[in-house]
Structures are given as C-alpha cells and as structure tokens.
Amino acid sequence: MLLGSDQPSVQEALTRVRPLIERHAEIVCEDFTFTQDLSRVESDLAVVLGGDGSILRSARQMGPHQRPVVGVNLGKLGFLADLSVEKLLSVFADVCAGNCTIVEHLMLSCSVIGKDGQVLAERLGLNEAAVLGGPPYSIMNVDLYVDAELVTTYSCDGLIISTPVGSTAHSLSAGGPILRKNLQAFVVSPISPHTLTVRPVVDTADRVYEMVVQEPHVDTAVVVDGETLHNLTPNDHVVVRRAEPQFKLVEVTGHNDYRTLRKKLGWGGRIQQMERD
C-alpha cells in the first residue's frame, strides 16, 4: 500500500519513489486522502509518506489488520516516519527481501461508556487518549480508576493516558517521561495539575484504566491521537485498555532510539555551549 496526504511535498516525493517501489513490489492500494478502509486491503507492507501524523491516520485506517509500516519523513520531527526519501531509495530492496526488523508496538483501545452501560464511542489509538477540559478553561476534577479501583482525583486541565509511542508526543509536553517504544506500559500524565505533588505515573498495559469527569464543561471531550472521539457528559466513563492489534514498524539497519532523541529533540545529558553573538 502507498499512503500519505495530498500535500505537494508528498506528491513530489511520490514521483521519486514510485519507480523504485514498482520495481520491487506490486502496489495494490493508494490512498492520499485518508478515507479508505484499509482493513479490507490484502497487502504485505504499507509505505507512508509524510510525518508521524500520516502514520497515525494510516494505523487507524488499518484498524484490526495492521501491516508493517515503512515511514518516510517529509514532516518536522518524524519519530515514527524515520526514513528520508534518499534512505528509502537505498534500503527498499532490502526491506522487500526481508532484510529488516519489524518491531511491534502497543496500541490502545478507547471506549466511552454512558451511565446505562452503553458504548457511546470507541476507537483504536497509537499515541494517546486524553480527556481535555475545553471552554470555559477552568480547572476540572478527573477521577482515575485502575482495574475498577479509585487511584486518585486530579485537579487539572486534562489527563492523558499514553502508549510508549505516544510518550514523545502530547504526554512529553505535559512533563511525562520518555518510554522505549516497544515497552508494554501506559503513561498517565496530568495536564497542569493544581498541586506540586502530582507526577506522571507509568504502569503496566495489562490493566484497565478509566477516567471519569463528574462535572464536565460544555466542550469537555475525549481525544484520541489528536481527534475528538466524544464530548463527555457527567459520569461518562472513558475506558482505556491494551488493544488486540499491535502497530508494526519496519526498522532498517542503523536505527537507534537514543540517536533519534538526540537528533530530533536535541535531548542530551550535558549542557551545550551556546554560541556568542
């Protein structure tokens, strides 16, 4: 499958990589609008052109039938879309020959359960599920349950439950830790908590997590991978658990998570000397 957006940069890259892809593989599906149901497409590989956002959308489109993804970075950071166009041109033949590593990553299933127990909405996610307050942007209380037991009540602007893949996304901006992408764990990160004692928590992905807002704002919503899933009403339960499918990412020789952090985030253990004016 050949996937991406309809942006000019994607179409320009497509003209460069299409001849190579057609030389080594058969293209059975193309989607540059993120609208097709990819779960029904029979394929061995998905080449996604763009950034991490394109990969998130493609993973959602593949649903329960995840295929190995080759991510080609045309965006800014590119933690998942790690290959440049030039790198793809040099390694694609090896990928098709099986000379690569396919790493499976945790995905989450997010469901909104109403007061009567009815499932109001559900979605598969790769990065995170977050309860966000919305206007009037005053502080709200979010109850967190783990395996049906109350953990605590956060007074905050929102609460994020993130996968390891999502630990370098919204959760990181909220002060959450960076997890190795193939760990089987979730990160719980409050957004702007109204106390100095609250810190992010890492726990196993084998548990079931529930977020409840007793008094939501008018536009309080649960957001999965950056897209609104459902607006919440009092006592709706947002349930997050390990999803059955796993996201599959193709990694080529030379890939290193710590190198990616240094290169993409400027992450490091020592202070860099600043250039003088």
pTM of the entire structure?
A: 0.91
Q: Which of 52, 82, 157, 225 is catalytic?
A: 52
Q: Tell me what pLDDT residue 49 has.
A: 95
* Annotation says 31 is catalytic: no
Please tell me the predicted confidence (pLDDT) of residue 271.
Answer: 57
Q: Break the chain into its structural domains and give their ranges.
A: 2-105+246-265, 108-242
Using CA atoms, how far apart are residues 166 and 168, in angstroms rounded to an integer? Answer: 5
SS (H, E, C) 108-132: EEEEEECCCCCEEEEEEECCEEEEE
pLDDT value of position 277: 46
As a whole number of angstroms, the distance between CA 232 and CA 41 comes to: 34
Contact status, residue 31 vs residue 79, Cβ threshold 8 Å: no
Closest CA to 167 of 61, 265, 50, 255: 265
Alpha helices for the chain (secondary structure H): 8-24, 52-62, 85-96, 170-173, 257-265
Residue that has been written with the tokens 């977050």 in this structure: 130
Domain 2-105+246-265 has CATH 3.40.50.720: no
Ranges of residues in the chain whose predicted pLDDT is under 70:
264, 268-277
CA-closest candidate to residue 206, choices 145, 134, 147? 147
Residue in the block written with tokens 């800014």: 76
pLDDT for the residue 63 = 95
d(CA 178, CA 169): 9
Q: What is the CATH number of domain 108-242?
A: 2.60.200.30
